[in-house]
């Protein structure tokens, strides 16, 4: 059932000749090995996540600007003696 639903495993099975006798260890290594593009995909995902996080930090900083401006304009006049 898994092989029918997994494109990667199905491709491996389809590449195997029906007359070929393949050792179980060889077959398992073929199925369980990581795809060649795995490292590049992980690097791209990490870079995308880092860029997204940096964008959110910039937006957070921009959202805080009005409050910081107001705090600077009010200065000590707005603070209570007990603060």
User: What's the confidence (pLDDT) of residue 40?
Assistant: 92
pLDDT attached to residue 32: 77
Give the pLDDT means over successive 10-residue stretches in the chain (83 positions). 78 69 72 83 93 86 82 70 52
State the pLDDT at residue 24.
66
Report the alpha-carbon distance of residue 38 to residue 51 in Å, rounded: 20
Distance CA 25, CA 23 (A): 5
**pTM of the predicted model over 0.75:** no
CA proximity to 73, closest of 82, 81, 61, 65: 65
Domain ranges across the chain: 1-33, 37-76
CB 13 within 8 A of CB 31: no
The pLDDT of residue 20 is 62
Which residue's structure tokens are 């195997």? Answer: 16
pLDDT score of 79: 54
Return the pLDDT at 43.
Answer: 94
Residue closest to 30 by CA, chosen among 54, 12, 48, 42: 12
């Amino acid at each position: 059932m898994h092989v029918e639903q997994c494109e990667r495993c199905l491709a491996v099975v389809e590449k195997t000749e029906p007359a070929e006798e393949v050792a179980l260890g060889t077959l398992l290594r073929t199925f369980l090995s990581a795809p060649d593009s795995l490292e590049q995909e992980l690097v791209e995902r990490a870079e995308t996540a880092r860029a997204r996080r940096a964008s959110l930090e910039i937006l957070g900083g921009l959202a805080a600007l009005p409050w910081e401006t107001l705090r600077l304009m009010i200065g000590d006049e707005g603070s209570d003696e007990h603060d």
